[in-house]
Amino acid sequence: MSGEIKTLLILPHIKVHNANALSSPFTIGFPAMTAWLGAMHALQRKLNQDGFTDLTFSATGVVSHQCDLQTHRGVGDYVSSIIGTGNPLDKTGSRSAFIEEARCHLDVTLLVELDGLNKADEVAVLERITHHLHGHMKMASGDIKGFHAPSIQRIEEGETSDLAMLTRQLMPGYALVERRDLMIAAMESGQDAMDALLDYLVVHQSCTQDDDGNVTWQAKRKTYQENPAGWIVPIATGFHGITALGEAKNQRDPETPHRFAESIVTLGEFKMPYRINSLNEIMWHYAIEPENNLYLCQQTHSLQKPTSADDWSDFY
């Protein structure tokens, strides 16, 4: 029995310069998932304006090939410092005040699940995508310096040969997957959210001394069910509304209700694509939980699964 056939847009090896590495108010590193899904939603809207009105992007996967965080640690330094940009001098010849911005240079491949694409429109859609990526479009607040030719591929769910053909194109690289299960297990055992997050990120250093006085140092991280948890990182996956919908002075869009929100941070894992067993393991989609005021990017099932970012319209 054949499975569902999914149409994928593959955007390989996009070089992003000076992407926003401050993914939340207290984490630095790989850009937030909201940035990647937001970029793909922006690309979808451009294609809709080009005349492909039935085309929607229902899910997005991110595979990192390289992430160069712009920080520096000098000899003897305990912490790293952010490498800032040189701003123009003010009228007195002094450096103007600025806010430090964490930046990173990236090489990523994006997978986009397409709905509503006609076979006859594939060539035209790829041409318009190439045009928009060569234009002034940004990703994660960074500039696109280059990319390989985009392509469209069809994957039959449950067909291992199709999945293997796809994962070979993504190697070497690391797909970002959600590991909210680690947070849930830790919090169910009595930890609060921050302790559960940090417990999987900290590196524990210990040493032993033998009878001859030789000291050996060991470093280890927390395991999950007596096995290594993987390459675990903190990731920002959405927002939590903390005020009611209303109006704000000088808001960008006077017709859209405004609300203040805070970032949602959980655990993620960078995972080699050859270790995935299903395409759904690496695809992210928008999800909202109106009763909890949550606007999320996630991989697990939710109460509501919007088909696009348009369902977030009451938020931004």
Of 191, 184, 209, 206, which Cα lies nearest the Cα of 267?
184
Distance CA 98, CA 184 (A): 39
Instruction: State pTM to two decimals.
Output: 0.85
- Band of residue 254 on the pLDDT scale cut at 50, 70, 90: confident
For the chain, give the mean pLDDT: 87
What amino acid occupies position 281?
Answer: E
The per-residue pLDDT for range 257-268, each reduced to its tens digit, is 888 999 999 999
* Cis peptide preceding 31, ω within 30 of 0: no
Confidence of residue 109 (pLDDT cuts 50, 70, 90): very high
Q: What is the pLDDT of residue 83?
A: 83
**Between 226 and 195, whose confidence is greater?**
195
Could you tell me if 290 and 304 are in contact, meaning their C-beta atoms sit under 8 angstroms apart? yes
Which residues fall within 8 angstroms of residue 13, CB to CB, at 6 or more apart? 65, 107, 108, 109, 146, 147, 148
Residue 234 to residue 57: CA distance in whole angstroms: 26
pLDDT at position 300:
59
| Six token digits for residue 132 | 């928009």
Placement of tokens 């030789």 in the chain: 214
Closest CA to 221 of 206, 243, 242, 240: 206
The alpha carbon of 92 is separated from its chain's Cα centroid by a whole number of angstroms, namely 41
At 314 the pLDDT is: 41
Is the pLDDT at 218 greater than 90? The verdict is: no
Tokens 């209700």 found at: 257
Nearby residues of 53 by Cβ (< 8 Å), 6 or more positions away:
none
